[in-house]
Amino acid sequence: MPTHLDLRDLTVGGATGPVLDGFSASLERGALYALVAPDMRAADAVINLVAGFARPQHGRILLDGKDLGLRGPGERGVMTVRPNLALFPHLSSLANIAFPLEQRGHDRDEIKNRIDRLTEECGITPEMLALLPEALSAEQKLRVALARALGGEPEVLLLEQPLHSLPPAARRAFLPELKRLHRQFGLTTLLATNDLAEAMAVADVISVLVDGKEAQRGKPEELFGRPANAAIARLAGPCNLVPIEIDVLDTKVMLRSAMLQTGSGDVGRDRCHLSLSSGPAQMLVRPEAVRLFLGIRRFDMLAEGAIADVMPRGGGAQIRVTIESFPPGIIADVPLPAPFPLEIGRRITLGWNRADAFLLPAN
């Protein structure tokens, strides 16, 4: 599929160094591409550049092969939803949604038909349409802001921390809705967020930006299972990072750790970061891959310790098991009901397989 939005070598300077340093990306039509930056400056810079609110020191932005550099913010075919949502406070929800449709010159009947569809798709009730923004809940404001942006019929939809106004639990609950709306309208979408787990839930491709540069790019499953470094591994969600020593061979990597019952193990070269060499390293294992060892199922790696924490989570529990040679311990997800009481201090054995481990550089 041909490129719809093409970002080429974008660079933006800052007081202490580049805010954005040579970022490039190609978005296919209808893709949802996420920019994840812990401090958000780089991701915000990309949003402002595409929207036309800032100009790069270097680089180009092309839409269907046409340079947007000479077009102003209102001439780019772009709509933006920002963290504060920026609804017009003196206009009702209905008037807010209708505004971009009126700007595009649609007649009254066409505006009504489009608003009917937008309100249905965005979950906006008739009662909400008559209210001013100040009378809406945070989620209701978000729905109106999304409807207004979609009503502008953009070529590209820019979402800059769109869920910022919602409490954490509400953000997670709204993610399927955001994914559904993207699928329903099929717009090329650029999402900027500081939450990698949020991006992984909705995006087709993700770029992680650290200190203005791209640290890793890939599909959600790649960043989750094969992160470029420990920092990205942590951004992607709860994880175990166990210090180990390794010997890199032709077809596999031998690993040693006093934490393991056998003291050693091995993984295939495909389960290792490309930069690894013999010496200190880290073994990444996600909590959902760690299981209770009951003497029946075979695991490639085992570790024994004592339960230190039990944290209920939905239909299961997350436990932390401290190990004598590794005081931080191992976190494991345990479905409930567990085969035995999860009591603090109880000694248990955990197991996981080499296919669920990924080796990272020690630093």
DSSP 8-state secondary structure symbol assigned to residue 85: -
| pTM, rounded to two decimals | 0.90
CB atoms within 10 A of CB 15: 5
pLDDT of residue 11: 95
Q: Tabulate helix, strand, coil % of the chain (nearest 5).
A: 30, 35, 35
CATH tag, 3-230: 3.40.50.300
pLDDT along the chain (363 residues), means of 10: 91 86 95 94 95 93 92 88 92 93 83 92 94 95 96 93 93 95 95 95 96 94 94 92 94 93 92 92 96 88 96 90 92 93 95 95 86
- Per domain, the residue ranges of the chain are 3-230, 238-361
**Strand order from edge to edge, sheet including 58-63:** 20-28, 3-12, 58-63, 66-67
Dihedral of alpha carbons 23, 28, 29, 32, sign: negative
Q: In angstroms, rounded to a whole number, what is the distance separating the alpha carbons of residues 146 and 138?
A: 12
Top-level CATH class of 238-361?
mainly beta
pLDDT of residue 158: 97
pLDDT of residue 71: 87
The residues, any chain, with a CB within 8 Å of residue 180's CB and separated by 6 or more, are none
pLDDT of residue 82: 93
